[in-house]
């Protein structure tokens, strides 16, 4: 009896019948795959490629002619002068005549040829202008939006500071004498402004206000209140020292503020008070 052994490659199983160990096995070999002849492309496909190669240059020529015609039609509009310039913004201090003088050199330009960056730079060079934006409006209008500096303090005797600590110098600041005066190194303008704002928040609830604040070259701080009290703060821990003064002021000094000439807070745990009249009370208090 002849035994057969069939290996099922798809299922990974071996199927067979019992055979005699003395008999051989016959292996079944699958037929070789059939080879198919290659088909030649029809001649019309090759012709289609040649048509595409001819159409692309033609399309480019048509596109170029269309752009040329469009440019000819737009050229008169491109050379059209600006007929209206609008200036927008909540302007309180900016002189409109000064704005007109800054714009005047650009009035003969067309909407497309005008140099917006140069015009914006000229506007930002005006003393009261904090920000400027220039926008084209088709076909012949220009919109200028201006932001003003908001003065919150004087910087020295000739300049003002805005709320960001940026200094600007109008021609006249006589009308701003009522603003607090800040002084310090030029490099420290922003720091002086931030310290002023911090002190002002601390003093306001206690009925005080900052009239003058100065940062010396070595970093020492000197403050004068609106009541004329000079406060010496030193260099370090100035906020804590100010809080110490306010605590003692509330407990002991609030009713006699008009008699105080100077408060020295350059001590680690106390302060000294100088009076306007000959001292009739102790000039020091320690915690």
At 262-285, the pLDDT tens digits run 999 999 888 999 998 764 444 444
Q: What is the mean pLDDT of the chain?
A: 81
Model pTM score:
0.66
C-alpha span between 93 and 143 (Å, rounded): 20
How is residue 129 written in tokens?
């202008």
Q: What is the mean pLDDT of residues 195-211?
A: 94
Report percent pLDDT > 90 for the chain.
52
Higher-confidence residue of 268 and 191: namely 191
C-alpha span between 226 and 222 (Å, rounded): 13
pLDDT above 90 (res 240): yes
At 82-107, the pLDDT tens digits run 889 999 999 999 988 899 999 999 98
CA dihedral 168, 174, 177, 183 (to 10 degrees): 40
**pLDDT at res. 133:** 96
At 46-65, the pLDDT tens digits run 666 676 777 777 777 788 77
**pLDDT at res. 235:** 92
**pLDDT at res. 43:** 55
At 241-259, the pLDDT tens digits run 999 999 999 998 888 889 9
Task: Mention every residue, 6+ apart, whose C-beta is less than 8 A from residue 224.
Answer: 210, 211, 212, 213, 230, 231
C-alpha span between 227 and 208 (Å, rounded): 8
| CA distance from start to end of the chain | 119
**pLDDT at res. 18:** 46
Consecutive H or E run containing 273: strand 270-275
**pLDDT at res. 55:** 75
Q: Give the domains, in start order, of the chain with CATH numbers.
A: 84-148 (3.10.20.310), 151-286 (3.40.50.11690)
């Amino acid at each position: 009896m002849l035994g057969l052994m069939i290996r099922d490659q798809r299922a990974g199983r071996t199927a067979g019948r019992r055979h005699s160990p003395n008999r051989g096995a016959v292996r079944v070999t699958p037929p070789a795959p059939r080879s198919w002849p290659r088909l030649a492309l029809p001649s019309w496909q090759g012709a289609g490629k040649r048509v595409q190669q001819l159409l692309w240059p033609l399309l480019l020529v048509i596109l170029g002619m269309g752009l040329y015609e469009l440019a000819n039609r737009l050229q008169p509009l491109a050379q059209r002068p600006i007929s209206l310039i609008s200036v927008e913004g909540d302007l309180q201090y900016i002189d409109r005549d000064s704005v007109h003088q800054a714009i005047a050199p650009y009035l003969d330009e067309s909407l497309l040829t005008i140099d917006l960056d140069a015009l914006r730079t000229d506007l930002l060079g005006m003393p009261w202008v904090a920000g400027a934006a220039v926008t084209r409006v088709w076909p012949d209008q220009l919109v200028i939006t201006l932001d003003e500096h908001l003065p919150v303090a004087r910087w020295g005797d000739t300049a003002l500071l805005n709320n960001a600590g940026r200094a600007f110098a109008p021609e006249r600041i006589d009308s701003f004498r009522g603003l607090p005066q800040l002084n310090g190194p030029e490099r420290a303008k922003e720091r002086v402004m931030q310290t002023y704002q911090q002190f002002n928040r601390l003093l306001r609830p206690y009925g005080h206000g900052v009239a003058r604040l100065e940062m010396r070259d070595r970093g020492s701080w000197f403050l004068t209140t609106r009541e004329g009290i000079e406060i010496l703060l030193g260099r370090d821990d100035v906020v804590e020292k100010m809080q110490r003064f306010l605590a003692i002021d509330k407990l002991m000094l609030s009713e006699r503020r008009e008699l105080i000439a100077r408060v020295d807070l350059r001590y680690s745990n106390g302060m000294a008070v100088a009076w306007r009249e000959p001292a009739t009370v102790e000039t020091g208090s320690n915690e």
